[in-house]
A and B are shown apart, each in its own frame.
Chain A
Amino acid sequence: MSLLSVRNLRVTFPTDHGPVDVVRGLSFDLGRERLGIVGESGSGKSMTGRAVMGLVPKPGRVTADELTFDGQDLRGLSEEAMRGLRGPAMSMVLQDPRFSLNPVIRIGDQIEEAMAVHGRLGKRDRRARMLDALSAVRITDPERVARLYPHEVSGGMGQRVMIAMMVVLEPALMIADEPTSALDVSVRGQVLDILADLVDRRGMGLMLISHDLNMVARWCDRILVMYHGEVVEELAAGALMEAQHPYTRGLVASLPKIDETRDRLPVLDRSRL
């Protein structure tokens, strides 16, 4: 049975010119695997992640024919019930640790809070688990880092802290929304390695949302290509070159390669989509 089943997911926002669908009838299944969702800005990929988490900002509306997580229908679930799932059952790593960590709370306290609000463990056990989680994201001196404030660590370290905070409750589903696009190129691979490794070892399902085709192809098993709120193509990560849809082909063609010489990089021709 799949971990997450989505059929005909729609996210709609009211505007002055009537309702606008930012996600238009999306369907996919996710098992305990690594699924990549790629698409350009505004293609609805981030909203898909937030819709699953029940965190679409007001006044957005989410509808679906099916939205099942681990056998549980998420549609019509109360806010309190959703809150109970967030953290222990599903979690999300956000884009930029400079903004996604609370600036005035110590790192250790922010991680422990995830356990505390779900009534998990006593104070001492929470602390031990927090330090374990920091070690698990390859922070060598967790005691020291736990006492720091977010502005005192680098972007790469901040994102590892974020990952530690989100895996500490061992959720079954991890959504990573552009987890590396705010980081230096030099630490992106490292952060993704850590994330992918944790996901594999703990048997989580991963939804990696990104605009970076190469990255998604390298770290995921399957790829959904989104364009304008819809999935235009679904393919195995290794089969990127065999893409059929003109949008995907256009994207692949426009990636520069280090081992070839081209006059001019092809540009996506939207008139043929």
Chain B
Amino acid sequence: MTRALPAFQFLLTLAVTFLGLLAITFVIGRVVPIDPVVAVVGDRASMETYNATKEAMGLDDPLLVQFARYVVQVVQGDLGMSVSTGRPVAEDLARVFPATFEMATLGILIGVVIGVPMGVIAAARQGRWIDQVIRVIGLAGYAIPAFWLGLIGLVVFYANLRWVGGPGRIDFFLDGMVPVRTGLLLVDSAIDGNWEAFASAFSHIVLPSFILGFFALAYIARMTRSFMLEQLGQEFITTARVKGVPERLILWRHAFRPIRVQLITVIGLSYAGLLEGSVMIETVFSWPGIGNYLTTALLNADMNAVLGATLVIGAVFVGINKGSDALYRVLDPRART
């Protein structure tokens, strides 16, 4: 009973969150001055065709009825048909989301592995030249537009140096040669033992991931630095020095341990941001991800696709939030009760 109650509360919050998310997206989708019927039939269709389509799409019914119908469908896993691709939205999302997921995950890994040590070092050497260098890198992460970095990256590393693959997820002659299992090309090609495809996929993903990783690390390094500075000013750091603890342990054991919880929030937010799909990066690299999909859907007034993609992004946010909550309890003894 005592164990079942939090689980029940958790599911209830989840359900309410999603219902709210659906409601807002749905209402926005219906009040925008875009006619979804015209999007289907085109603006030269006759009045009869128009009306018949409108009825078939259920747009004659009151908004509340439409919404209820939509919710029931979603619960059954049916996100409707996409007007622009002509396929079920759920199918489309199963194809585009893994592409974004793969790139974002690699990006956040790069951001954490480089960004966290950068922040720690900057804090340890506050005001020295290395701190200034890291500060400038961080500032660049805020100031440089993603599409510019993407284009320059392509010119330098793909067109000139030939170090990496070009746009797309894989070389075109390998496209479709890897059986889809998870939708993650690196994983699927490895499972298949197709190392040629793996190498090609890797050479394509490495540049966009590094660019995403750069933006993530700029934010992560800056936050790590300021969290570390706050901890290094605490009395327990003096205590550790009084005990004769070496500087390296003071940094990583005494100052870094307490900030892990705060960092999880920062990393979680960054990751969620990357998972939303960076429209700019996905466009520049012709990456068939969710950012691209959502933008195309919006421009085509493809409301089912927009709602479906929004739902997935919402689920990602909720999932990451709940995940970091759970990690809190593991890492901070004060959060356990």
**Is B332 an interface position by the 8 A CB rule?**
yes
The reply to whether A83 and B246 contact each other, CB–CB distance below 8 Å, is yes
* A243, chain B: closest CB distance, angstroms: 32
Q: Is the CB of A102 within 8 A of B258?
A: yes
Quick check: is B239 within 8 A (CB to CB) of the other chain?
A: yes
Question: How does the 8 Å CB contact mask read for A78-110 relative to B, with 1 for contact and 0 for none?
Answer: 000001111110011011100111111100000
Bound together, the chains give a CA A212 to CA B214 distance in angstroms of 55
Docked-complex contact A100 and B334, CB < 8 angstroms: no
| Chain B interface residue count, Cβ-Cβ cutoff 8 angstroms | 21
Q: How far is the CA of A234 from the CA of B46 in the complex (A)?
A: 106
Given contacts A86-B244, A87-B243, A92-B242, contact A101 B334 (CB under 8 A): no
Complex alpha-carbon distance, A88 and B245, angstroms:
12
Whether a CB of chain B sits under 8 angstroms from the CB of A53 is yes
Tell me the complex Cα distance, A105–B258, Å: 9
With A100-B236, A103-B334, A104-B332 in contact, is A114–B243 under 8 Å at CB?
Answer: yes
Q: Which residues of A contact B242 (CB under 8 A)?
A: 53, 55, 86-87, 91-92, 94, 166
User: For the complex, is A1 an interface residue (Cβ under 8 Å from B)?
Assistant: no
Whether A100 contacts B235 by the Cβ 8 Å rule is: yes
Within A34-54, which residues are at the interface with B (CB < 8 Å)?
Answer: 53
| A149 and chain B: residue at smallest CB distance | B333
- B30 at interface, CB cutoff 8 A: no
Asked if B241 is at the interface (CB within 8 A of a chain A CB), the reply is yes
Contacts A117-B249, A149-B334, A151-B333 given; indicate if A87 touches B239 (C-beta within 8 A). no
Rounded to whole angstroms, the CA-CA distance of A255 and B98 in the bound complex is 74
Answer yes or no: A118 CB below 8 A from chain B CBs.
yes
**Cβ < 8 Å to A, chain B residues 250-282:** 253-254, 257-258
B243 engages A103 (CB within 8 Å)? no
Residue pair B243, A165 in contact (C-beta under 8 Å): yes
A117 to B267 alpha-carbon distance, docked (Å): 32
Q: Which of A134-184 contact B (CB under 8 A)?
A: 149, 151, 162, 165-166
Contact B236 A101 (CB under 8 A): yes
* Closest beta carbon of chain B to A230's beta carbon, Å: 25
Contacts of B244 in A (CB 8 A): 83-88, 114, 117-118
By a CB distance below 8 angstroms, the chain B residues around A165 are: 239, 243
Asked if B194 is at the interface of the complex by the 8 Å CB criterion, the answer is no
Q: Which residues of B contact A104 (CB under 8 A)?
A: 257-258, 331-334
Query: In this assembly, does A113 line the interface, its C-beta being within 8 Å of a C-beta of chain B?
Result: yes
B131 to chain A, nearest CB (A): 14
Q: List which B226-250 residues lie within 8 A (CB) of chain A.
A: 234-236, 238-246, 249
Could you tell me the distance between the alpha carbons of A166 and B243 in the complex, rounded to whole angstroms?
7
Contacts of B246 in A (CB 8 A): 83, 117
Q: Which residues of chain B come closer than 8 Å to A87, judged between CB atoms?
A: 242-244
In the bound assembly, the distance between CA atoms of A105 and B331 in angstroms comes to 11
Residue of A nearest to B333 (CB): A149
Q: Would you give the shortest CB distance from A211 to chain B, in whole angstroms?
A: 18
A residues less than 8 Å from B241 (CB atoms):
55, 86
Query: What 0/1 pattern do residues 102 to 128 of B give for CB contact below 8 A with A?
Result: 000000000000000000000000000
Closest beta carbon of chain B to A213's beta carbon, Å: 25
Contacts A104-B257, A104-B258; A99 near B236 (Cβ below 8 A): yes
Q: In whole angstroms, how far apart are the Cα atoms of A83 and B241 in the complex? A: 8
Complex interface: chain B residues within 8 A of A91 (CB): 242-243
Known contacts A117-B249, A149-B333, A149-B334; is-contact A102 B236 (Cβ 8 Å):
yes
What is the minimal beta-carbon distance from B23 to any residue of chain A, in angstroms? 41
Residues in A with CB closer than 8 Å to B333 are 103-104, 149, 151
- Give the docked Cα–Cα distance between A85 and B240 (Å): 13
Contact with A along B151-177 (1 / 0, CB 8 A): 000000000000000000000000000
Residues of A contacting B236 in the complex (Cβ-Cβ under 8 angstroms): 99-103
Complex formed: what's the CA distance from A84 to B241 in Å?
A: 11
Shortest CB distance B114–A (Å): 24
A149 → chain B, closest Cβ, in Å?
4
10 smallest CB-CB distances across A and B, nearest first, come from A87-B244, A86-B244, A99-B235, A149-B333, A100-B235, A114-B243, A102-B236, A92-B242, A100-B239, A87-B243
- Interface residues of chain A, those whose CB is within 8 Å of chain B, are 53, 55, 83-88, 91-92, 94-96, 99-105, 113-114, 117-118, 149, 151, 162, 165-166
**Told that A96-B235, A117-B244 touch, could you supply 10 new A-B pairs with CB distance under 8 A?**
A87-B242, A91-B242, A99-B234, A100-B235, A101-B236, A102-B257, A102-B258, A105-B253, A117-B245, A151-B333
**9 residue pairs from A and B, CB less than 8 Å apart:** A53-B242, A91-B242, A102-B257, A103-B258, A117-B245, A117-B246, A149-B333, A162-B239, A166-B243
